[in-house]
A and B are shown apart, each in its own frame.
Chain A
């Protein structure tokens, strides 16, 4: 972790998408989600840890994820989140939106 990683604030709302994507691979608790995102982005994306919990609440309220009490790999009690069917649908929607957006940005950047 020697160099400064990019904070995830370039694309507002993309945190939700990243969480959904992470949870679509496996069920995780809060800290696990942060680590997972960090690892799978090769430490390029650094989730602002405090913002994770409001985001989780929002996702749960919308019915996209569901938290249940469980035990972490370190044997500690934690809320383990899993993605719901509605969440998978939402992930698909967001993925399409994101693809469109990055494509558009790439076009703009390419035309320069």
Chain B
């Protein structure tokens, strides 16, 4: 019966075809019969058709019989489901809420994944875009010497397969070489991150992100302007009139709309440009991570970044420009790579000057460019997969829990089902109706979950971006995401509905009709589900434990400098037109004025904050030597007066850098303790010299400081050595000020703005942040993981405990008679409590037995997220087990107590 009906539904397409064949045969036979009666073949065929009636219509009618039936039954089921749901309000509400949490969390994480990992660039035909990369072995040989055709670079490397190095930056000549009659690309365009620039419009200066683009950039991407025109090849030549394209948002914020911006004069780092166009609102360049406010023709970097940059165009060993190409129609990426890789190889071989360089030449590779550059993907794909795994586990717990609730309810509905079965209802029909009910529950949960996800996406984006400036994750719910949510809901509904549905429609009608009580298999199913929930919660508990422990370890890291009560902000006076030597006095005077703010204990400046030191270039050129020995692995930090005092880095001997160190006076250095110990042993280094062959200067060591840890908390640079030099003697373009304040540092932000405005209103104050926040930003991922995972674990444990409680309560209710007899025969209350708790512990123990090995294996997957914590950390495992068992006992205690309060007389009478 069941099988036959299933077969019908599966064969619905084939059936329609069979019907047509049957009808054809019928007509043929009829015609043949008429022919034997003496008709001509044509007449016979026509007559047969006439007698049959409208073939198409009859075919439709026959098909409709099936379809109509399906829909009418579905309608019945939905109506019946609504009634059942309303009749069981408490159950339905609980189930829908649980599902909303589970599905909502999944939707939120998925929509983040969709926006980061899957979504295409909002440009024409993104599928035909390819990104050009190269890879080679690491540039340093075994002796740590740099042997590579890349002599200088501006951009990033990232690790590839088999310990290779991958990068997307090329010399300009490589771009020109590949662009010349390219057989694979219809366009090849380049771009170069211009970092932050000072954009002044009618005297109002702000700091904005800029992207230098070649003339074919917009044409290659196939973008049309929101107003005006976009940069073309004419604009990207040396000596062309400086023009700029601005982003849609900038046009709105600064000009009040795209049309108003066209033709307006603007100053970019004090260089006059004219706005010629506005990019469309959805366009954010080629890197989903950064949304530039300004697009400038590549060659204008000579105007903006100084005449020195002109050499970038001719230097074949300086790597800086990134490239994307659009494949010609019909050319595959593999074909393009086969055509271009030899050409690049040929070119790059001519740039190698030694055999060592020739032995490790970069090799060109093409990568899909549809989703833009991969920096965001590289950074977030693994964390997102981990988060996805967690929320999928939560959803699994939710499904198990609801399946359990449904099983319990199936017991209550067993009589109803038995009656319907005995009245002749098909079992498949009943299962279908029960499944319709569970899918309805899941759909409601999914709808509510989508609402929950809107909130979830916002808070997740906030957590992930944690203080990062211009974090541009464009994630929102879209049809793709909602489609996945809907599919997920249906799958969940089927998943948690199918076991209870099959259980409760078991055809052994008679015993159910007689006493209405369930038998053994259902209890077994319930127990399996409870064990599964416990096992999954344990996994999440272990994950939470590991991440919290990691965070704990990170918080206890010794940085070597003060964390609290320090305000950081950056200024770039060079971009407003200040030049050496005036710029040095300008910065020095500002420092004195900041120090005079009431409540500021000390103020200093440096080339960057300590956290960002790794991202800013060294303050000096070339190597450092002490005598004949090369100083290796030391970081040079250009710092102003009172830097050590402000940062509370201890001064061990000598003095720190102060106002005596002026541009004209002998250059000085303060070295860190580790450096002193490494290169001077037990000697006193004060008075010794560090020589700078490339700078043709010597540094006199005037003091020794405590050790400082760079680059935040989890960086491995704990062995870093430091050379502090005077900011006046090695002046950077951009400086970061640090103010040590009394009380909340952010209270002083307004005074800072005022002072800078008075000094030069063209200079924007950027990167305003407290030291504590900047340090925390380096561990934002760990904080996010610890918070989310703890939240997930608590949620999972709570749901599992509700499941356990429900199951135990149900068991106790079923055993009232048995317990009553035991108590009547003299069982103590304690023994009854133990009887119930023993089962709770047994279930929890089984969950643990399954889950501990799984946790040991699974935690290795998150090893890269841990800090000084082993994946199989025994303390964490023990703690998680204790928490789990306590929660289980807590959940089981209420039913156990209820069991022990059973009045034997009442129980026996009830039986």
Contact = CB atoms under 8 A, between A and B. Distances in A.
B30 A53 contact: no
A57 B65 CA distance: 7
A112 interface: no
Contacts of B830: none
Interface string A45-65: 000111111101110010100
A48 B18 CA distance: 20
Contacts of A63: 1, 4-5
Contacts of A67: 18
Contacts of A58: 65
B52 interface: yes
B26 interface: yes
A53 B16 CA distance: 11
A78 interface: yes
Nearest to B8: A61
Given A31-B29, A76-B25, A79-B22, A57 B66 contact: yes
B65 A31 contact: no
Contacts of B23: 30, 53
Contact of A54 (B1, B55, B65): B65
B61 interface: yes
A30 B51 contact: no
Nearest to B64: A54
A16 to B, nearest CB: 12
Nearest to A59: B65
B22 A49 contact: no
A70 to B, nearest CB: 12
Nearest to B53: A50
B54 interface: yes
A49 B52 contact: yes
B506 interface: no
A77 B22 CA distance: 9
B30 A31 contact: yes
Task: Count chain A CB atoms within 10 A of each CB in B23, B30, B58, B62 and give the residue with the most.
Answer: B62
A82 interface: no
A66 to B, nearest CB: 8
22 contacts: A30-B23, A30-B26, A31-B25, A31-B26, A31-B29, A48-B53, A49-B51, A49-B53, A50-B54, A50-B58, A51-B53, A52-B26, A53-B22, A53-B58, A57-B19, A57-B63, A61-B66, A61-B69, A63-B1, A74-B29, A76-B28, A79-B22
B59 interface: yes
Given A49-B30, A57-B66, A61-B65, 4 more contacts: A31-B30, A50-B57, A63-B4, A78-B22
Contacts of B18: 67, 79
Give the 7 A-B residue pairs with the shortest CB-CB distance, closest first: A50-B53, A50-B58, A57-B62, A54-B62, A31-B29, A54-B61, A49-B52
Interface of A: 29-31, 34, 48-54, 56-58, 61, 63, 67, 72, 74, 76-79
Contacts of A74: 29
Contact of B25 (A50, A56, A78): A78
A51 B29 contact: no
A101 to B, nearest CB: 24
Interface string B17-54: 01101110110111000000000000000000001111
B26 A49 contact: yes
Task: Count chain A CB atoms within 10 A of each CB in B19, B26, B57, B69 and give the residue with the most.
Answer: B26
B36 to A, nearest CB: 12
Nearest to B23: A53
Contacts of B69: 61
Nearest to A66: B4
Nearest to B54: A50
Contacts of A54: 58, 61-62, 65
A56 B21 CA distance: 14
A93 to B, nearest CB: 13
Task: Count chain A CB atoms within 10 A of each CB in B25, B28, B51, B55 and give the residue with the most.
Answer: B25
Contacts of B51: 49
A30 B22 CA distance: 7
A75 to B, nearest CB: 12
B32 to A, nearest CB: 8
B820 to A, nearest CB: 48
A73 B18 CA distance: 19
A29 B61 contact: no
Nearest to A34: B26
A61 B54 CA distance: 23
Contacts of A78: 22, 25
A72 B28 CA distance: 13
Contact of A51 (B5, B26, B30, B58): B58
Nearest to A46: B51
Nearest to A48: B53
Contacts of B53: 48-51
A53 B66 contact: no
Given A31-B30, A48-B53, A63-B1, A53 B62 contact: yes
B273 to A, nearest CB: 75
Interface string B62-77: 1101100100000000
A89 to B, nearest CB: 11
A51 B26 CA distance: 12
B58 to A, nearest CB: 4
Contacts of A30: 22-23, 25-26
Contacts of B25: 29-31, 72, 76-78
A58 B52 CA distance: 19
B51 to A, nearest CB: 6
Interface string B884-904: 000000000000000000000
B66 to A, nearest CB: 6
B53 to A, nearest CB: 3
A74 B25 CA distance: 11
Contacts of A29: 22, 25
Contacts of B52: 49-50
Interface string B224-263: 0000000000000000000000000000000000000000
A44 B18 CA distance: 30
A53 B8 contact: no
B66 A50 contact: no
A52 B23 CA distance: 10
Interface in B60-98: 61-63, 65-66, 69
A57 B67 CA distance: 12
Nearest to A53: B62
A57 B25 CA distance: 16
A84 to B, nearest CB: 9
A49 B58 CA distance: 10
Task: Count chain B CB atoms within 10 A of each CB in A48, A49, A51, A77 and give the residue with the most.
Answer: A49
Contacts of B30: 31, 49
Contacts of B4: 63
Task: Count chain A CB atoms within 10 A of each CB in B30, B52, B55, B59 and give the residue with the most.
Answer: B52
A65 to B, nearest CB: 12
A8 to B, nearest CB: 14
B71 to A, nearest CB: 14
A54 B178 CA distance: 69
A58 B713 CA distance: 74
Contacts of B29: 31, 72, 74, 76
A6 B57 CA distance: 23
Contacts of A77: 21, 25
A65 B678 CA distance: 95
A61 B19 CA distance: 14
B290 to A, nearest CB: 61
A6 to B, nearest CB: 15
Interface in B101-148: none
Nearest to A1: B37
Task: Count chain B CB atoms within 10 A of each CB in A31, A63, A77 and give the residue with the most.
Answer: A31
A76 B66 CA distance: 27
A78 to B, nearest CB: 5
A57 B18 CA distance: 11
Task: Count chain A CB atoms within 10 A of each CB in B19, B21, B55, B69 and give the residue with the most.
Answer: B19
Contacts of A31: 25-26, 29-30
Contacts of B26: 30-31, 34, 49, 52
